[in-house]
Amino acid sequence: MVSERLRAKLNEQIQKEFYSAYLYLSMEAYFLSQNLDGFANWFHIQAQEERDHAMLIFDYLNRVGAKIELGAIEAPPTDFASPEEVLQKTVEHERLVTRSIYDLFDLASEEKDHKTVMFLQWFVNEQVEEEENAEKNLASFRFVKDDPKGILLLDREMAARVYTPITSTNSQQ
Ligand code: FEO
């Protein structure tokens, strides 16, 4: 079991992860519209990973016998001024998600809910990677943004990303 407060917060986190997937799908759509298919691929895979994050929490709630309650997912922004704005927003969004995971971790720690602390440890580590990737993408783009050839090369690099399903918080990254 988990406390009612923690159960509610974990359910909210499912919603936030699905929102992240939705946001990244919207960003994928933007890159497709700009003919930057490699960037679009990167965001497509990012959206898949966000759904995996949501499902890990979904499965955890089920395993500890806590009620799963799915909330409404708000619409993401659909208009972006430039690739740089998208990449900047991705960094900002991942920082927000990290804050949210830390709040969950703090609550589980305060409640001495050790199993949930252990479960959330994976997400704490995952957020290091999420922020790092988002920051690298932004930095790389800023290096080449005035050079169309550089953008095309970066787009090719982004096209190489492949999806590996995340099925367990025991899996090592
Ligand atoms: Fe689910 Fe991008 O953090």
Going from the Cα of 96 to the center of ligand 1, the distance in angstroms, rounded, reads 10
Provide the pLDDT for residue 157. 97
Q: Considering the domain boundaries, does residue 116 fall inside one?
A: yes
CATH number at residue 155: 1.20.1260.10
Provide the pLDDT for residue 173. 39
CA-based angle 156:161:162, to the nearest 5? 140
Q: Considering the domain boundaries, does residue 168 fall inside one?
A: no
The pTM of the full predicted model, rounded to 2 decimals, is 0.95
Going from the Cα of 129 to the center of ligand 1, the distance in angstroms, rounded, reads 9
**Atom of ligand 1 minimally distant from the CA of 16:** 1
**Atom of ligand 1 minimally distant from the CA of 50:** 1
Going from the Cα of 17 to the center of ligand 1, the distance in angstroms, rounded, reads 6
For the segment 152-163, the average pLDDT, to the nearest whole number, is 97
Q: Considering the domain boundaries, does residue 167 fall inside one?
A: no
**Which structural domain, as residue segments, surrounds residue 107?**
4-159
Distance, CA of 52 to CA of 39 (rounded, Å)? 20
Report CA 56 to chain centroid distance, whole Å: 13
pLDDT (tens digit per residue) in 5-49 = 999 999 999 999 999 999 999 999 999 999 999 999 999 999 999
Distance, CA of 44 to CA of 13 (rounded, Å)? 20
Q: Considering the domain boundaries, does residue 172 fall inside one?
A: no
Report CA 136 to chain centroid distance, whole Å: 15
Using a 6 Å CB cutoff, which residues line ligand 1?
17, 20, 50, 53, 94, 97, 130
Q: Considering the domain boundaries, does residue 164 fall inside one?
A: no
Burial call 81-116: b when 16+ CB within 10 Å, e when fewer: eebeebbbbbbebbeebbebbeebbebbeeeebeeb
For the chain, what is the domain count?
1
Ligand 1, atom 1, lies closest to the CA of: 50
Going from the Cα of 79 to the center of ligand 1, the distance in angstroms, rounded, reads 21
Q: Is the pLDDT of residue 169 over 90?
A: no
- Distance set, CA 105 to CA 61, 98, 99, 121 (Å): 15, 10, 10, 8
Q: Considering the domain boundaries, does residue 45 fall inside one?
A: yes
Residues 80 and 30 sit within 8 Å (Cβ to Cβ) = yes
Q: Considering the domain boundaries, does residue 88 fall inside one?
A: yes
Q: Considering the domain boundaries, does residue 170 fall inside one?
A: no
